[in-house]
Amino acid sequence: MGDKLNSKKLAMWSSFVVVTVALLTGCQTAKQIEEAKRKTEALALVCESGDLFACTYLGVIEAKGKEQDELKAITLFSKACEGSIGVACANLGLMHLKGKGIDENPAKAVPYFDQACELDIPGTCIAVAAIYAEGRGVPKDALKFLEYVEKEKSVANRPSDFCVPNCPKGKAWNEFLVAKKYKNGIGTEKNEEKSVEIVEKLCEEGVASGCYELGLMYAEGRGVKHDYGIAFSYYQQACDGGSAAGCNSLGWMHVQGIVVPEDEEKAYEFYQKSCRGKFSLACDKVKEIKKMKGPKRIVIGND
């Protein structure tokens, strides 16, 4: 079985490298990286608002920019991974595996790849399989290898962290996943314009997560010209349609006075609505505001 296992794991390891390493080492030209750098201010604001996908993209910029800051990238990926953003966990695993900004340690890469595997990131289950097949920092384990090969096969059919608890259904779900893959260059060449095209169609069809994703693209300036005004309108559509993430973003924009006047009461209302939709970052904001204002605060709705 040794030779057969060896040939399988080498082929699958190559597949993993093609799919996942693109996040840090693929597809972006120097010109594109510098363009991304010009967007960092907007991204940093979105990240600060609690949007962990923005933190993840910012981490990629820090890892790949002309003035690389891999330690900062690790901090951003860690923040997003703790919030169950699979792509961020995959990047953390990769940085441990390759020794990027941190000591090379395949054994420490395993739990991050495993978490990304559970969060539906293609190639990460195979990454764990390959580490066990090669015995890189862990004992060789053929059973673990086969277990993670099987997990890889089921990744495309599981729910994801992109939109829980209000994920699209059926065909819309498949299209939503395709849009996310184009946006982040996962398993395909990165194409943010194509991602925008898909989520715009989903939003027009009344898919709340599609509207939120479209708003995020405008807020980040990815695939479209950066425009907070347009982003706000799509976040509003998303929130009205049941997207907890959309309500959270509206709360942040009211706190910051972006597009609308600063209005903490209104922000609190949106954060509460988002929290009721199980968006944990919004629940944290609700607690923060309550703590700052104390017991006399007027509570809007139920926590």
Q: What is the pLDDT of residue 291?
A: 79
* The predicted structure's pLDDT at residue 22: 37
pTM given for the model: 0.55
How distant, in Å, are the alpha carbons of 34, 256, 287 from that of 263? 35, 8, 17
> For residue 59, with 0-12 CB atoms within 10 Å meaning exposed, 13-18 middle and 19 or more buried, which class applies?
buried
Residue (of 110, 139, 137, 141) closest to 125 by Cα position: 110
DSSP state, residue 157: G
Write out the two tokens for 64. 């790949």
Nearest CA among 216, 295, 272 for reference residue 57: 216
The confidence score (pLDDT) of residue 36 equals: 54
pLDDT for position 168: 66
pLDDT tens figures, 246-264: 998 999 899 889 999 999 8
Which residues of the chain fall below pLDDT 70?
1-39, 65-67, 154-169, 184, 186-187, 293-303
pLDDT (0 to 100) of residue 297: 40
Helix, strand, or coil (residue 170):
helix
- Residue ranges and CATH numbers for the domains of the chain are 2-157 (1.25.40.10), 170-293 (1.25.40.10)
